[in-house]
Chains A and B, each alone.
Chain A
């Protein structure tokens, strides 16, 4: 059957449609602006068809398709065969294009309140990105390439690391976030193009940014969670270039959200907002470049492909360079000065914006530093977690300290008397908390832990106070205010997890023979036996470890070491006893002399809070979208 060729044709057609889409706003006399919506929807249909064809090739084990032969296997369960579609370079680029086309379709359907000309410009700008990705896929990374006439009998299999639930949902979620920022980018450029920007512009962009930001938050958290349980090291963040590539746009998108709030409510920070809208998407494109070109990832981890890298770099140069140039030339016409007092929500948000940008720039610098040094002929460097923790950590802690007081600072100006009075109660609550913490927390690192927990509590108590006041005065709480409280609470929850795991996480590499015990803190690990197990496509060595607390067996843990049938790489499968206040984490290492094995045992206090906090942040983001819809449907804020 000629399905892959059909997919290839669909992709060519999609790219041509994107080209037409760009022409519509450029030649308004030739094309009616309304046609842009139809073109965007047809483009999305074509990309969807191409993607569906690739899914089908993977599902059908069509090993005549090179990509399937390289990344799948007939023994793979059907759901992993489907997810193998994006577990590789070509497929993930097609997924990128698909997600972009979906966002374009959403804009085509969803944006009703702007003029047709504005919508056609937004879609045209998004279309130019779609052309870039379409050409990239067709010219350098075609997923539909065949291996003919010698069709392999079977495939080389999907990397076992990717045979996992979180891997099914992580990339699509992350891409929804990455690519979703394109909407704000296109809105910003379209506004610069029109030379017109009003408060309703900000109001209409915000839900798009909120949606993209929420997806990005969830996507990053899923990646962190996956790394935690699948990679077997028990860490939740590694400052790996790929992780940084997603964190940088997240930080900038966070700044953008807050800047947009000011533009919407006070019609200020217009220049900032436009710049951040461009930067947020620019940095997610840059992230794609860094990850996909192999320019950054160490030469040992990735096959560098200069032709792909050059293509993306030229594309980046046109898109980002062009957008920033347009900004430089045209932003002046849109900016107007707005006055506000030193103690006001505007100031707070400005400081927050600057700090978030500093954090983003610091991460970017650390990520690119080895490359810069190499290009300057200064030799090879690697920048590790100590730099990032030291340089980025304090900035983010400062952001948290500031975001805590957001509920008590008003727009325009806040009387300092009122400000101090509203912080009195929270400060007293924190003071009362100190002796409790000093009693509860373990002795080592107690000061740092108290400081960290207090910072988290600082957010909590002000949120609780804000809720209490609204409830007492039975004032109607605007959903937007609620969404802010929820998202900020999420940050506090994550911070608590980070502090606890960072200061009180324990890890030991031990040697254990069957019937031996190792004690770590309140727990004892008793290795009962080493056995084996057969899975659907792997053979596993399984340890049976009894987790003993006091005199009771708390749990039976079964860490595994899997040998997948199709590949020679053994995979460790950690055994985790999850808990809200602590995880116990056991990994089976290598066989040692005699019956003994090396094991890595870890106790991770409150690590789940990190991801729960991220989920709460995303929930806050979604509440924000809902808030916008509510205010749209009639009532004034």
Chain B
């Protein structure tokens, strides 16, 4: 009986290894949004550059759009930002910014300093829309088709690899107003 205790460490380790294995399978790109395949929730939030103007889910209709959740406090967003600027300029991708739980002044300065890839930026200062969308953190990007339906969600930084391998094909697929593959 006493010697069975010596198997405790290896037992604990096996258990741990199983969890780590499951953790590995937890692919960042496959985190589901509760709203996948559903239209964007109803909202009315101010525009960053023109606070008197309210933006709503209607502003997403007509063309496939990337809804990019960002904030000035988010370090990874700094990494991501130049790439967004690039695809917006070079490939004409329509990106809408969701400035999440942020300071409006800092956000404006950020866009002036680093370039503005966004068609417009929605101010979600208290994170209400983020909550409805099921945002885990920033950066996070939603792909919406031309009818404003959420088709894909990417958690984490968009870089060359993510764009070419994952998002760009999806974006092309949902781009046309007829919108079916």
Interface residues of A (CB under 8 A from B): 271, 275, 278-279, 282, 289, 293, 295-296, 298-301, 303-304, 306, 309-310, 313, 316-317, 320-321, 324-325, 327-329, 331-332, 368, 371-372, 374-375, 380, 568-569, 590-593
Contacts and interface: CB of A to CB of B under 8 A. Distances in A.
Nearest to B72: A590
A36 B155 CA distance: 49
B155 A295 contact: no
Interface of B: 3, 6-7, 9-10, 13-14, 16-17, 19-28, 31, 74-76, 78-79, 81-82, 105-106, 109, 114, 136-139, 155-157, 159
Given A325-B10, A328-B9, A568-B81, A300 B155 contact: yes
Nearest to A293: B24
Contacts of B9: 275, 278-279, 324, 327-328
Contact of A316 (B17, B81, B159): B17
Nearest to B140: A300
Contacts of B21: 313
A304 B28 contact: yes
B156 A327 contact: no
Contact of B6 (A300, A332, A568): A332
A289 B137 contact: no
| The 9 nearest A-B residue pairs measured at CB | A324-B10, A375-B22, A299-B28, A328-B6, A328-B7, A371-B23, A295-B23, A309-B24, A299-B156
Contacts of A316: 17, 20
Contacts of B78: 568-569
A147 to B, nearest CB: 13
A569 B105 CA distance: 18
Nearest to B139: A300
Contact of A375 (B23, B109, B114): B23
Nearest to B79: A569
B20 A568 contact: no
B7 A300 contact: no
Contacts of A306: 24-25, 27
11 contacts: A279-B9, A295-B20, A300-B138, A300-B155, A306-B27, A313-B20, A321-B10, A328-B10, A380-B136, A591-B109, A592-B105
A8 B157 CA distance: 31
Contacts of B156: 299-300, 303
B20 to A, nearest CB: 6
Say what secondary structure dominates the interface of chain A: helix
B14 A321 contact: yes
Contact of B17 (A317, A325, A331, A590): A317
Contacts of A327: 6, 9-10
B19 A371 contact: yes
Nearest to A590: B106
Contacts of A325: 10
B20 A289 contact: yes
B14 A298 contact: no
Given A300-B137, A301-B76, A327-B10, A375 B157 contact: no
Nearest to B25: A306
A368 B136 contact: no
Name which of B10, B22, B24, B156 has the most chain A CB atoms within 10 A of its CB: B24
B24 A313 contact: yes
Contact of B19 (A304, A368, A568): A368
Contacts of A331: 6
B137 A271 contact: no
Contacts of B75: 301
A289 B167 CA distance: 29
Nearest to B15: A372
A19 to B, nearest CB: 25
B139 to A, nearest CB: 7
Contacts of A569: 78-79
Contacts of B24: 293, 295, 306, 309-310, 313
B157 A300 contact: yes
B82 A568 contact: yes
Contacts of A329: 6
Contacts of B139: 300
A289 B17 CA distance: 11
Contacts of A374: 23, 26
Contacts of B136: 380
A372 B27 CA distance: 15
B157 A271 contact: no
A333 to B, nearest CB: 10
A31 to B, nearest CB: 30
Contact of B74 (A275, A300, A304): A300
Contacts of B79: 569
A317 B13 CA distance: 8
A562 to B, nearest CB: 14
A320 B19 contact: no
A135 B138 CA distance: 35
Name which of B13, B21, B138 has the most chain A CB atoms within 10 A of its CB: B13
A279 B10 CA distance: 10
A332 B5 CA distance: 11
Contacts of A324: 9-10, 13
Given A300-B139, A300-B156, 17 more contacts: A289-B20, A293-B24, A301-B75, A303-B159, A304-B28, A306-B25, A309-B24, A317-B17, A328-B7, A332-B6, A371-B26, A374-B23, A568-B78, A568-B82, A590-B106, A590-B109, A592-B105
B26 to A, nearest CB: 6
B28 to A, nearest CB: 4
A170 to B, nearest CB: 20
Contact of A372 (B10, B19, B74, B114): B19
A289 B105 CA distance: 40
A541 to B, nearest CB: 12
Contacts of B23: 295-296, 371, 374-375
Contacts of A275: 9
Contacts of B109: 590-591
